[in-house]
A and B are shown apart, each in its own frame.
Chain A
Amino acid sequence: MAELEPDWQDWTEAEGEAEPGNQSHRTRFLILAVVVSLALGYMIYAAFPGNALYFLTVGELIDKTDVHDGRTVRVSGKLVADSFQREGRSTVSYFQLRDENTESSGQHLSATFVGVVPDLFFNPHSEVILEGSYGEDQIFQTDAILVKCPSKYQSLQEETLLSS
């Protein structure tokens, strides 16, 4: 009688002889490969649609006139203090962004947004990323507001101690 518990090498070889890879398996692998490469292609396209950068800075967006054609772009900056205004009691709002480290000098980007603005948008530590388009009217039409994580975490107690 053959040994009841064969060695891995032995039984897998026996199995390989009994069930060699056939045409249907090759088709399955091929379909898997096609689906995976299509998905990869879509992801790379979604991540870099015509632009290798996830977002532009305020200065870059204003200087790059070739993207001022209504295409969707992302721009990142800090909210200019006290620039946020609402149109009456509506959800239409206007505000300005600036690049970091350009408190007084530097360019400001005027933007408008319709909708509810997230809480963290107003936090002085936050950096804001706007998705939308910038055209000839020189006002950024915002479709979505994203808030970038602060690159440091700080405890509440320490923060209040520092600011008081």
Chain B
Amino acid sequence: MLGNGIRQNITGYLVVLSGLFMLADLYLIFVVAPTDAVLGHVQRVFYFHVPIAIMSFLAFFLVFLASIAYVVRRDGKWDRLAHSCAEVGVVFVTLALLTGIIWGRPLWNTWWTWEPRLTTTLILWLIYVSYLMIRSYASNQQQAARYSAVVGIVGFVDVPIVYYSVVWWRSIHPSPVVGPFAQANALEPIMLWILLFSMVTFLLLFAYLVAERTALRNSEDRLRGMRLVLRRTGR
């Protein structure tokens, strides 16, 4: 396990790095990226919306792995990682939904429609919000860790469903622009590069937020442990 000093250093580097990348990303999105021929300037939301959605998938994948590790090892550090990734993942998936709702209005002429990807994403949001609610309802830390690990493992099923929803079912979303099911030339090369840069930017931001949240969870645990010791020793 890393010492506190090193850990703080890493968090410090991550916040500076993700800040610099974010500035470069905004420059690329608003100055370098070409204006879309059909959708106009509002298409630029794409460079935020897609990476944010993909980072939420990454977050829930990490929740899945850490939950399995917790069930096998029963070690608190895995629960801390799973919990932190779940909370940061909820922030990301909420923003994927919100940015989608906002640019859906000019693009689709509606804020919301019950189509496959929107529905499965809302289900994803619901699963991980209940993950966090289960934790806050639990009477003790081990119960919280056990119950939420189950949700973290089973709930991950929805992530591939969200990704494949546009391949399996008819959707108002376009087919994937990156990944195995991407159409050839779905994006111009310059658009693809900016999208990839944006993904790196949000990966750094995600790493920073998880590092920060895990550190907070460590403090929460230390304080809770100390209080318990004090209560038991009658002070």
Interface residues of A, Cβ cutoff 8 Å to B: 1-6, 8-9, 11-16, 18-22, 25, 28-29, 32, 36, 39-40, 43-44, 46-47, 52-55, 76, 118, 120-121, 123, 125-126, 129, 144-160
Tell me whether A47 and B119 are in contact (CB under 8 A): yes
Tell me whether A153 and B186 are in contact (CB under 8 A): yes
Contacts of A159 in B (CB 8 A): 37-38
Choose one: A15, A36, A121; the contact of B142 (CB below 8 Å). Answer: A15
Contacts of A6 in B (CB 8 A): 225-226, 228-229
Tell me whether B76 and A12 are in contact (CB under 8 A): yes
Is B138's CB within 8 Å of the partner chain A? yes
Known A-B contacts A32-B134, A146-B108, A152-B183; A19 and B225 likewise in contact (beta carbons under 8 Å): no
> Taking CB as reference atom, which chain A residue is nearest B172?
A148
Main secondary structure of the interface of A (DSSP, over half): mixed
Contacts of B187 in A (CB 8 A): 152-153
Choose one: A54, A126, A147, A156; the contact of B34 (CB below 8 Å). Answer: A156
Ordered by A's residue number, 29 sampled pairs between the chains whose C-beta atoms are within 8 Å are A6-B225, A8-B77, A8-B141, A9-B74, A12-B140, A12-B142, A15-B228, A18-B228, A20-B140, A21-B138, A21-B143, A29-B137, A40-B123, A43-B114, A46-B114, A54-B115, A144-B110, A148-B108, A149-B172, A149-B174, A150-B39, A151-B174, A151-B183, A152-B187, A153-B186, A153-B187, A156-B37, A157-B34, A159-B38
Interface code B69-96, partner A: CB below 8 Å = 1, 0 otherwise? 0000011110000000000000000000
Is B8's CB within 8 Å of the partner chain A? no
Interface residues of B in 153-190 (CB under 8 A from A): 169-175, 177, 183, 185-188, 190
Contacts of B38 in A (CB 8 A): 120, 123, 125-126, 150, 154, 159
Choose one: A36, A54, A150; the contact of B126 (CB below 8 Å). Answer: A36
Choose one: B130, B143, B145, B186; the contact of A152 (CB below 8 Å). Answer: B186
Known A-B contacts A43-B119, A54-B171, A147-B107; A153 and B141 likewise in contact (beta carbons under 8 Å): no
In the bound assembly, the distance between CA atoms of A53 and B226 in angstroms comes to 56
Chain B's nearest CB lies how many Å from the CB of A39? 6
In the bound assembly, the distance between CA atoms of A150 and B172 in angstroms comes to 9
Besides A2-B232, A6-B226, A36-B130, 15 new A-B residue pairs in contact (Cβ under 8 A), listed by A number? A2-B233, A8-B75, A9-B76, A12-B76, A16-B142, A21-B143, A40-B126, A43-B114, A120-B39, A144-B110, A146-B109, A147-B109, A148-B172, A148-B174, A153-B187
> Taking CB as reference atom, which chain A residue is nearest B130?
A36
Interface residues of B, Cβ cutoff 8 Å to A: 34-39, 43, 46, 74-77, 107-110, 113-116, 119, 122-123, 126, 130, 133-134, 137-143, 145, 147, 169-175, 177, 183, 185-188, 190-191, 221-222, 224-226, 228-229, 232-233
CB within 8 Å: A-B pair count: 171
Contacts of B139 in A (CB 8 A): 19-22, 25
> Taking CB as reference atom, which chain B residue is nearest A124?
B38
Tell me whether A47 and B109 are in contact (CB under 8 A): no
Tell me whether A4 and B113 are in contact (CB under 8 A): no
Chain B's nearest CB lies how many Å from the CB of A79? 14
7 nearest A-B residue pairs (beta carbon): A155-B34, A8-B76, A159-B37, A47-B119, A11-B225, A118-B109, A46-B114
In the bound assembly, the distance between CA atoms of A40 and B155 in angstroms comes to 13
> Taking CB as reference atom, which chain B residue is nearest A43?
B119
Known A-B contacts A15-B141, A43-B119, A154-B38; A146 and B177 likewise in contact (beta carbons under 8 Å): no
In the bound assembly, the distance between CA atoms of A54 and B186 in angstroms comes to 23
